[in-house]
Structure formats: structure tokens, C-alpha cells
Structure 1
């Protein structure tokens, strides 16, 4: 599962990657955001057995990523927005600043 936060004041979005407890052994999320370094974002196992990690990324990007399990086993997230030859792709849309479009306009 992949969840996205709203951008913070610096325009960064928190991407949280989460895998079910059935996945065994150490797992890392690797991708464009960490130069595909398997040591940069290891996932931690919570009390519920789920593996999770949160990564801060700039808004307005499309990033490729995959999971790397112990023993050199690569796998994709079934909830990725799309896939290409690098793996899953997650889209981080840019959020326009200013008032929402539905805000009343001055007369």
C-alpha cells in the first residue's frame, strides 16, 4: 500500500510504503528518490507485522520504485500507479498554491 500526504511548506510529500506481515525478512524500498540504494530506506516491522517506511519527496514528480527483499529478491507493489521497465511508478502531483478554485471571487 502507498499513501501520500499533502505537501508541507517546503513542497515535500511524505510517501508511506507499507507491506503486509506475510512478507518475511528484511525489506527495503528503493527507487529514483534514493538512487536505487538498498540501504537508504529499510522498512521497519510494526507490532501488527506490517513493514513500513516513509520517504520525503518533492511534489510534481513521477518516481519509479521497487521493493528488495533479503536474498536479492525484487518485487513490485500491486498498488503502484503504473509500471515500466524499472518497476512500479508512483505519481506525486503538484498542488497549486493559493485559494481553492471554489473560493468566492470578489465582485
Structure 2
């Protein structure tokens, strides 16, 4: 489930493909990507469900930064990326966030 990264030679941008495998959300109807890059908005970045059951979304992000993020499953269940670059503890929520380093 690691984020696939494709760095552009012409711009300081990385094309990132975020994916959540079927095993992480076997009965999910909707998964959204929530993080620093969208001000933690819970409804703006919906992942597309593939025939395999995997959920996926592409996002272009500026390089030279780190981004915290999580997946929101059916608006109620939060999930981390099992293969994130790192994790950071968020004491006020008693959980960790996934970290993407570009």
C-alpha cells in the first residue's frame, strides 16, 4: 500500500498514487484521503474503487516537504498507510498519522 512516487524532471512536483488495498477496507463503500495537502478536509479527495477492490487516487504534490495523512473509510473509520515513509504521534487524538516524505 505504499504511495507510488514519480518525480517530474521539468517541475518540482511529484505525482503520487495513494492506494488502500481491499484487505484494509474489505466492505468499504467510500474511502477518502485526508491530510496536510487538503487541510484535513474529510470529503474532498475520494479514492476510486478498482475492480480488484483496491481504492486509489493520484495527487500532484510539491517536493521538498513532508505531509501527514490518513485514510477515512465510510466516514467513520480511520486507517494509516501500512507502508508509509514514517509515522508521527498525535497525542491529542491518541493515534499516529502516516507521513509522506518528498
TM-score, with normalisation over the residues of structure 1?
A: 0.79
Runs of 4+ in 1 over 2 A off after TM superposition: 7-10
Gapped regions of structure 1 (runs ≥ 5): 93-107
**Of 19, 31, 42, which residue of structure 1 is paired with 2:46?**
42
CA RMSD across the alignment: 1.3
Q: Which has the larger radius of gyration?
A: 1
Residue 89 in structure 1 maps to residue 99 in structure 2: yes
Taking CA–CA contacts closer than 8 Å with sequence separation of 6 or more, which of the two structures ends up with the larger relative contact order?
A: 2
Gapped regions of structure 2 (runs ≥ 5): 91-96
Q: Assess if the C-alpha contact under 8 Å between 1:20 and 1:51 holds in 2.
A: yes
Query: Deviation at 1:54?
Result: 0.8
Query: Closer, same or farther in 2 for the Cα pair 1:8/1:68, shift >3 Å?
Result: farther
How many matched pairs? Answer: 92
Query: Deviation at 1:39?
Result: 1.5
Query: Deviation at 1:7?
Result: 2.2
Q: Assess if the C-alpha contact under 8 Å between 1:30 and 1:65 holds in 2.
A: yes
Q: Assess if the C-alpha contact under 8 Å between 1:43 and 1:52 holds in 2.
A: yes
Residue 16 in structure 1 maps to residue 20 in structure 2: no
